[in-house]
């Protein structure tokens, strides 16, 4: 066990031999830290938090009661192969959140970026790739192999199907079920979620100017609302050609052109 002298461990906590705790870490009452866990400096585990497996958590992240991080994946194909979970710096992981490591079929790794907020009851399944500054509201859940871009927001009680991609700063409404890829900056809502426009408020909060938002709206309409024939990919190329210097439109078009395992989330007809 490698524990920095400044780390504070409550007498009732269990920190197993082999665990690594950085400077100023706090492990609260009745919490459990497994033998392969690495906690960066300043991490805080409140009472009754459990971190096990080959799990690494970045500096200053905060784990609240009854969170369970690193237990084996909820996948019947899992046979005990080596797998990992990595969580970036400055994350807040609230009460009852669960996160699982990867499986052999997904590269053996689940990753969470920096500065994320996972509200109570949220779930990140095996082999997910979660970006930076992502927010999962209460009880938002991702099935296996889901990719979530930076600054995305998943509303409360939402659910994401396995292998779905969610783009940068996309927003999924509360109580929505997402079965298809959601474009960057897009908004989706519904029992079987459909595209409902752009996350304009989020873009403005991140500093996109008025002309950039207008250009992206024009590209969105060209692709989804006023199609003049051709495939989705062809319309995405045409929209990008109309405003090639717009970074948000470029990201949206490249997301569509990259494709994935799922169909795209589109507006309801």
Which residues are catalytically annotated? 126-127, 144
Q: How many CB atoms lie within 10 A of CB 1?
A: 11
Sheet holding 159-160, edge to edge: 14-15, 32-33, 50-51, 68-69, 98-99, 123-124, 141-142, 159-160, 177-178
**For residue 116, which of 102, 101, 135 has the smallest C-alpha distance?**
135
Strand 141-142 with 123-124, pairing: parallel
- Angle at which helix 247-258 crosses helix 210-220, to 10 degrees, equals 30
3-state secondary structure of 129: strand
Calpha distance 234→236 (Å, rounded) = 5
Paired strand residues for 93: 63, 118
- Residue 80 is given by DSSP the state S
Calpha distance 128→113 (Å, rounded) = 11
Calpha distance 124→110 (Å, rounded) = 8
């Amino acid at each position: 066990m490698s524990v920095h002298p400044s780390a504070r461990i409550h007498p009732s906590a269990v920190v197993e031999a082999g665990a690594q705790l950085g400077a100023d870490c706090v492990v609260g009452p009745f919490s459990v830290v497994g033998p392969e866990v690495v906690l960066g400096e300043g991490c805080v585990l409140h009472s009754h938090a459990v971190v096990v497996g080959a799990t690494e958590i970045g500096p200053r992240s905060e784990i609240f009661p009854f969170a369970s991080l690193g237990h084996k994946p909820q996948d019947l194909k899992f046979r005990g192969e080596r797998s990992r979970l990595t969580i970036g710096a400055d994350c807040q992981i609230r009460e009852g959140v669960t996160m699982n490591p990867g499986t052999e079929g997904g590269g053996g790794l689940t990753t969470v970026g920096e500065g994320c907020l996972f509200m109570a009851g949220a779930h990140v399944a095996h082999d997910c790739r979660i970006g930076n500054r992502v927010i999962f509201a209460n009880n938002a859940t991702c099935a296996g192999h889901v990719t979530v871009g930076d600054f995305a927001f998943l509303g409360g009680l939402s659910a994401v199907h396995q292998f779905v991609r969610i783009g940068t700063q996309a927003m999924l409404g509360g109580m929505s079920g997402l079965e298809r890829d959601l474009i960057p900056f897009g908004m989706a809502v519904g029992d079987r979620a459909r595209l409902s426009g752009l996350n304009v408020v989020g873009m403005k909060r991140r500093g996109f100017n008025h002309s950039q938002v207008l250009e992206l709206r024009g590209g969105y309409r060209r692709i989804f609302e006023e199609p003049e024939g051709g495939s989705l990919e062809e319309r995405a190329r045409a929209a990008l050609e109309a405003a090639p210097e717009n970074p948000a439109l470029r990201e949206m078009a490249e997301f569509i052109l990259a494709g994935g395992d799922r169909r795209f989330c589109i507006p309801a007809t």
